[in-house]
Structure 1
């Protein structure tokens, strides 16, 4: 089992959960539901700490980096992420109502409860954590002090260790508990059918946005956009395998250089974008959020989703380099800004992680388009 990736484990968890729930063995289903409840409360506790641990040092490190092109690269990356989210919202609101009917998951009236609950109140609210992270990050960048930055980097490593050794390994069991409950109450089959439809929409929007990015980059630089995309394919497929933008950096740099980006720009822009440019992940999070809420018969308005997208672009700065890092960083926003319940968050994690590798692939391929534009600015300044 240790050699299996997160996605296979997640699929096994879903299958086992459905089998346990459909057999009608109430005590076993309740046992899994009990675990899911405790795990969900632990997630609620860790979210504010995760935001501080990753956003604060991420902002501080960005502010401490020298170079005239830092502001341009960061601005383009953030704009790309926001535009990706907006595009995803309008595509989702146009297509999803045709494939997900409101309240499609019918309630059977059958319920199953946990044996007991363990409450784990968070140290602070999510918005308090965000403000604190911004304050610490900007403050550390302003004073250029190393002591607090070193402390925050150590704190970041602690939180990442928690994600890698507790949250990610136990996540399949948590998902198994969610699907065991849904199978017990008769909701699992409809949910999985919706998952398949949403997955196709997400991948299609990823590909469409990659083409849009390179059409814009091609119009700015004069390069053939489709030839540029072809040169980036090694990075795209490497990211599908690694599920990490950071782990794909060497391949992304080489692919960008094939498109004529100078060594200096490629080695600066690509690593920077690997931590701040998450257009593919934003597309996935936006579409999946709308789909999960649609399952319960709730529609998200643009007025609700747009602030979420704006905050998402900042919150996922330096998202952990582990599978599912972006969704972990976004959990707090989903809960506070979009009104997600624990069950909604669990479905969201399952749906997101199922295509995490494709979101990462879209991220790194877009990094190559940004590198092309930044390279144009660098030549103009030279």
Structure 2
């Protein structure tokens, strides 16, 4: 028993990123060497299932506890964070449009995608879906991971509990801490989960599947890489007036990797919460901004929608002028913000964008089918960009506020992070 405990302690003493990389390499090797060992993939299913299961409860209690503790007039950076989220969506769509002009893509469309889910007919339907999710039953929202509903009811209950007794607030804090501890235990299993996830991909799709539709993948991934490594650092620099890349790479190394393999912004919420805590950010802010970002901060989705819609236009021989393309950017940015409330995510929003060019739904659904083919890489990169940017913009807003109003902060942002590292 003691030897087992020592092994676990030594394993946990290794950096989580290094452990994840080990799991990634081992998953690739096993996927190529023993693809028939399907039992390995269950590790990935268990990991993603555990994250998805605990995330709604974590978000509900963290947001409610933070709001009921928030004093009157207490300052947060939420307004600026929301502006960054929406601006990021728009600029990402613009990057995708420019990339599509530089490297226009044509597709081979043969048969429509098989899907039982009808795409939304327009922006009005997307917004209607969002509003209906806001007023959904709170218990049903938690059960079905409806994060719009979870956020709405957590805010309502949190504000209503401001005048509750200290004992009630303490109980909420204790529940939040208990759920957070459970999340930490789950995250410590990430290397095994990611090993299972990458094994499932390699054993069923093979390495060759990742190279299919190479030109389309290059434009999609290239646009996302440009946003992650050029556009986002520029936004951080303009806000903080400091070298943005240490912060950018920290978010990418901790948040992007897990989101890439889980392919779920919702499942990555606990990972982002822990990263914000390690960075010493204000819990009253990130406990709200992270789940909100998983809902509306969809830069990767905006890139996918814009790129695929323009690929459809090029395939059909439709000439798209820049004013029309800019309208597409706005449409993509707005619809991407509602992607999490639409069954099928960003791919099923492609027909709505295609309708801007008068492309029929039959053709648009064939483009959706192509989207599912490249989804092995596209969806992973999209989710990684979306999720890592949630933490980046949250940290960016706080660093900007610390620079402008240092008198509002009594400790350095790195003190808590150094303390956590020393404890580890």
* TM more than 0.5: yes
Task: Check the 8 A contact 2:260/2:383 in 1, yes or no.
Answer: yes
Shift in alpha-carbon separation, 1:81–1:265, aligned structure 2, 3 A: same
Q: Equivalent of 2:91, from 63, 66, 83?
A: 83
Distance in 1 of aligned mates of 2:393 and 2:111: 50
Q: Equivalent of 1:200, from 208, 218, 222?
A: 218
Shift in alpha-carbon separation, 1:105–1:316, aligned structure 2, 3 A: closer
Instruction: Compute the displacement of 1:318 (Å).
Output: 4.9
Task: Check the 8 A contact 2:305/2:353 in 1, yes or no.
Answer: no
Distance in 2 of aligned mates of 1:270 and 1:74: 11
Distance in 1 of aligned mates of 2:350 and 2:138: 24
Count, aligned residues = 262
The answer on 1:215 being equivalent to 2:202 is no
Instruction: Compute the displacement of 1:218 (Å).
Output: 3.4
Distance in 1 of aligned mates of 2:292 and 2:353: 26
Q: CA RMSD in A?
A: 4.1
Aligned to 1:126: 122
Specify every segment of 5 or more residues in structure 1 that has no aligned partner in the other structure, as ranges: 1-60, 114-119, 142-147, 161-191
Aligned to 2:204: none
Shift in alpha-carbon separation, 1:303–1:132, aligned structure 2, 3 A: same
Aligned to 2:40: none
Task: Check the 8 A contact 1:244/1:322 in 2, yes or no.
Answer: no
Specify every segment of 5 or more residues in structure 2 that has no aligned partner in the other structure, as ranges: 1-62, 148-209, 409-424
TM value normalised by structure 2: 0.52
Instruction: Compute the displacement of 1:277 (Å).
Output: 0.6
Distance in 1 of aligned mates of 2:111 and 2:355: 26
Instruction: Compute the displacement of 1:365 (Å).
Output: 1.9
Distance in 1 of aligned mates of 2:261 and 2:321: 35
Q: Equivalent of 1:71, from 74, 79, 83?
A: 79
Shift in alpha-carbon separation, 1:76–1:347, aligned structure 2, 3 A: same
Shift in alpha-carbon separation, 1:260–1:224, aligned structure 2, 3 A: farther
Aligned to 2:391: 368
Aligned to 2:318: 298
Task: Check the 8 A contact 1:334/1:340 in 2, yes or no.
Answer: no
Aligned to 1:150: 137
Shift in alpha-carbon separation, 1:112–1:93, aligned structure 2, 3 A: closer
Distance in 1 of aligned mates of 2:241 and 2:396: 10
Alignment of 1:40-59 (within 5 A): none
Distance in 2 of aligned mates of 1:217 and 1:131: 30
SS at match of 2:359: coil
Distance in 2 of aligned mates of 1:266 and 1:158: 19
Distance in 2 of aligned mates of 1:322 and 1:126: 12
SS at match of 2:340: coil
Instruction: Compute the displacement of 1:325 (Å).
Output: 1.4
SS at match of 1:261: coil
Alignment of 1:326-345 (within 5 A): 326-328=346-348, 330-341=349-360, 342-345=362-365
Aligned to 1:45: none
Instruction: Compute the displacement of 1:128 (Å).
Output: 5.1
